Amino acid sequence: MLKQQGFSLFEMLLVLALSSILILTIIQFFPIFQRQWLSLYQKQYIMHIVNNTLLPFYKDIKRAGFMAKINSQPIVAALQVNPKGDCIIIHYDLNRKGIWVIDEKDPSKVNTFVYRYAKNNVEYRSGVPNCGGIGWEKLFDNKEINIIQFQLFDHQLYLEIKIMGTLVTAPNISYSLSRMIRYENR
């Protein structure tokens, strides 16, 4: 005759009680872990968006003052930051013709690039000689990110940029960036 062995009723009840306690403990901490994960994701998201959106801006700053022909004389300063530090006008020889073209009527030929802070956003426009006017392109989606600070400081050898943005859906999630970009052609 085969002798069958297994767990007794008492052992089964003890294992069931211990596993229930363990599962209840894990369930209590799950919302805390979920909130922390969501907060970390939102911080990573805003950091990614701000850094990637500003890459063309950084590129334009590095190119400021470039002239294809060495003997060419610029007609204006390569880089101008307004006194408030919230707008920058950048000139460089985009088409490699040896001159900086400033022509609002034909934006395809211009070598002027302007960035400004307005309406909780950083705006961009090419071909304009100043920081005013209409027809600006927003760099950030106002439904996602509010830019609450955009400051530019022109030092002799580099430009210092300070920017701070918050998520519209979670205003307590913010990202601050301070970057110094060395002038390559000044």
- The confidence score (pLDDT) of residue 73 equals 65
Is the pTM value of this prediction over 0.85? no
Residue ranges of domains in the chain: 50-182
- The confidence score (pLDDT) of residue 72 equals 63
- The confidence score (pLDDT) of residue 105 equals 67
Query: Block means of pLDDT (10 residues each) for the chain, length 186 residues?
Result: 76 92 90 93 96 95 84 75 95 79 64 93 90 94 96 93 96 96 83
- The confidence score (pLDDT) of residue 65 equals 86
- The confidence score (pLDDT) of residue 89 equals 94
- The confidence score (pLDDT) of residue 45 equals 96
- The confidence score (pLDDT) of residue 110 equals 74
Q: What are phi and psi of 117, to 5 degrees?
A: -100, 120
Q: How would you class 165 by CB atoms within 10 Å of its CB: exposed for 0-12, middle for 13-18, buried for 19 or more?
A: buried
